[in-house]
Amino acid sequence: MSKKEDTAKTNNDDMALFHEAMKIVAPLAASDKTVLEPEKPVPLPRQINPYNLDGPLSETVSAADQHILALDAGDEWSFSRPGVSRQTLRRLRRGVWRIRSRLDLHGLTQDAAKRHMTDFLNDALHKQYRCIQIIHGKGLSSQDRIPVLKKNIGSWLAQHHAVLAFCQASPEHGGGGALMVLLKGKGHTR
């Protein structure tokens, strides 16, 4: 007998033994359980490159930030990133950090204000400033007296990777027409 014939005979014997063993096996009764399909994983949010200081700010705000930035013209408002303590925001309000630079956006269009603010933030980061001020005005001379820049500036700041927190300035620093902004420090990893 050749090797090939011997292998075929062994396979036939194995199959015969298997079928003989399976004769006494009965199928399981139908179950009333439902097999659920696994859910699709939730996509992770896109990560912002913390080293890209020259990139433009996004045109939209994430749904998670919408509630922070929705405000009325007269409301005092603030923003802080997850992980930034309330104490840090209180310290910003109290003026613990010295204002290192100011940007006045009075009279600018939205596009011009966004460009100036992006350049200003990137320059402040380059100079390693911790606290800056952005003066946007109260919107009293805008159409329908709606503070368009105020709302947009808050949205743009919340999207910038280096902004840890911001709050309305104290009355002596501009009140409802200005924001105090806390930026990441030199060794800050958040």
Query: What is the side-by-side order of every strand in the sheet holding 78-80?
Result: 78-80, 163-168, 178-183, 131-135, 101-104
Q: Over 50: is that where the pLDDT of 73 sits?
A: no
CATH class of 66-183: alpha beta
In this prediction, residues 11-28 reach a mean pLDDT of 86
Distances (CA, A) of 159 to 29, 63, 68, 100: 58, 12, 12, 21
Are 177 and 76 in contact by the 8 Å Cβ rule? The answer is no
DSSP string, 117-130: HHHHHHHHHHTT-S
- Residue 49: pLDDT band (50, 70, 90) is very low
In the three-class reduction of DSSP (H, G, I as helix; E, B as strand; rest coil), residue 63 is classed as helix
pLDDT in tens, 137-156: 876 666 666 667 887 888 89
The reported pLDDT for the residue numbered 123 is 95
- Distances in Å between the Cα of 169 and the Cα atoms of 17, 85, 190 are 86, 19, 24
Every domain of the chain and the residues it spans: 66-183
Q: At what angle do helices 148-159 and 110-126 cross, to 10 degrees?
A: 40
Distance, CA of 176 to CA of 33 (rounded, Å): 61
Specify the pTM. Answer: 0.60
